[in-house]
Amino acid sequence: MKYVENLIVEVKVLDDGAVLVRRKDRKPLTATDHKEALRLADSSPGITVNDVLRVFPGGKVRQYGDNER
């Protein structure tokens, strides 16, 4: 999961690529807020499953510890 924020919005990018956005002042999101949140999510450091699958389409994603028994 990636987390990034600016003065107005908080953005969480979940491991499955879903983007959760909320305003810090709890007001409803505007179209401008939504565009800014997507820009922040795309520019933030870190790698998500969607990033990997974009490079390696059709790949199998394994969770940490799948091969431990």
What is this structure's pTM?
0.63
* Residue 19 near residue 58 (C-beta atoms within 8 A): no
The dihedral of CA 8, 30, 43, 61: what is its sign?
positive
Please list, in sequence order, all residues whose beta carbon lies within 8 angstroms of the beta carbon of residue 48, skipping any fewer than 6 positions away: 2, 13, 14, 15, 16, 17
pLDDT in tens, 5-58: 999 999 998 877 788 999 999 999 999 999 998 888 888 777 766 677 778 888
Q: What's the pLDDT at 25?
A: 95
Identify any residues that bridge with 9 across adjacent strands, giving them in sequence order: 23
Q: What's the pLDDT at 67?
A: 59
Element (H, E) at 11: strand 9-13
Element (H, E) at 35: helix 31-43
